[in-house]
Amino acid sequence: MSAPILVAIVGGTILTVGPLGTIEKGTVLIRDGKIAAVGRDVQVPAGGTVIDATGRFVMPGIIDAHSHTAVEEGVNECTESVTAEVRVADVIDHHDVAIYRELAGGVTTVNVLHGSCNTIGGQNAVLKLRWGKGPEELLFKEAPRGIKFALGENVKRSNFRAPGPPRYPATRMGVEVVLREHFREAQAYQREWEEYEKKLKAAKGPLVAPRKNLRLEVLKDVLEGKVQVHAHCYRADEILMLIRVADEFGFKVRTFQHVLEGYKVASEIARHGAGASTFSDWWAYKMEAYDAIPYNAAIMAAHGVKVSMNSDSDELARRLYWEAAKAMKYGGVSEAEALRMVTINPAWQLGVENRVGSLEIGKDADVAIFSQHPFAPDTRVETTLVDGVVYFDRARDLAARTASPAQAGGSR
């Protein structure tokens, strides 16, 4: 057997976002891509790579629960209002330089979603930002399947002129009807297959199986809890509408995305068991964002909702740590709660909290090392690791900018 690959991050202030809290002058020991030890008195075996983090801050890699990175040509399939069968994972552009730039902002995992043109759009893809790897290697294979729903202006197409003939729905009422109609179809499809399976067990001869329908197959899996729902939304009334529809058909909304009026119905979101992935201060870009307030994240968190800060933007994704800091300024959440909003909370929202989101033994070694506290106004990311591998190093990056192509390892 080959020797284990050892990496030790030593001397930094460790923000574990876990049971150990903050550790001064601590060490994170990584063995074969997993966290093997975290603490002040960790013995560093000989022969490993040592990263000196003295004077710096070490935290879990940042997780963006709403991204469109690496799918510039595959965001919206606007031809129909329900396109559950399409998959973001099939169109990942692993050459997208935003992947590297987001690593430079400490981001290690992103939830790449279909756009908001459809009531029920496509299936999402959770990616680990392993820059330089192929599309299959970017996929966070242990992440549960998910799908994008959308409500409001984008779906009813009141804020843009889409090509082609007008498409149903054109109102918020129509959006609700589309949801109900398709989930009733999915229930009928589910019953058809259940009856077939029962007959198959008792049959002595061959039986003709029901016809496969890829769209209804996904919606059936939503009903059975096999696919998580991530719902783009803004207004309180439509948030409540989707909760009622989900309760009626027996599935759960995993996250409400953007959810700028979530503060109005925070208790209802918490009772449903959904998370909320929001902006800190994006608003006034369309009518349904009119009632947004900077206290939204703090109010929802105070009502027991697991809140995350998302980017919806390749640019904003590089500064999500500052987005979390704004929740402290607007609403007075604690530092610990603000850190959770870009680490363990989005990890829970994506169903990967047992793998990432905090620095704990046994978890993936996804780590961001900052020059100062992540909420300091002049901080910057110095090093980012994914699975214990350094994918961004600021000193190496700066050196490569002035090196010749041969010195930098040739052109890509």
Domain coordinates in residue numbering, the chain = 1-61+357-412, 62-355
Answer for the pair 199, 209: CB distance below 8 angstroms, yes or no.
no
The average confidence (pLDDT) of the chain is: 94
Give the closest residue to 368 by CA, choosing from 335, 319, 323, 401. Answer: 319
Give the closest residue to 254 by CA, choosing from 160, 336, 325, 148. Answer: 148
CATH of 1-61+357-412, one of 2.30.40.10, 3.40.50.720, 3.90.75.20, 1.20.810.10: 2.30.40.10
Give the closest residue to 128 by CA, choosing from 400, 347, 404. Answer: 347
pLDDT of 411 > 50? The answer is: no
pLDDT range class, residue 172, cuts 50, 70, 90 = very high
pLDDT digits (tens, 9 = 90+) for 253-290: 999 999 999 999 999 999 999 999 999 999 888 999 99
Answer for the pair 140, 149: CB distance below 8 angstroms, yes or no.
no
Give the closest residue to 73 by CA, choosing from 58, 93, 44. Answer: 93
The Cα-based distances of 183 to 77, 180, 220 in angstroms read 20, 5, 8
pTM comes to: 0.95
Strand partners, 145: 227
Q: In angstroms, how far is CA 274 from the centroid of its own chain? A: 14
pLDDT digits (tens, 9 = 90+) for 203-240: 877 899 999 999 999 999 999 999 999 999 999 999 99
Residue 75 or 90, more confident: 90
SS3 121: strand
| Over residues 342-360, mean pLDDT | 98
Name the H helices within 17-166.
98-103, 135-138, 153-156
Structural tokens at position 75 = 């965001």
CATH of 62-355, one of 3.40.50.300, 3.40.50.2020, 3.50.50.60, 3.20.20.140: 3.20.20.140
| Window from 71-80, 142-151, 174-183 with minimum mean pLDDT | 71-80
pLDDT digits (tens, 9 = 90+) for 129-163: 999 999 999 999 999 999 999 999 999 876 666 66
Residue percentage of the chain with pLDDT more than 90? 87
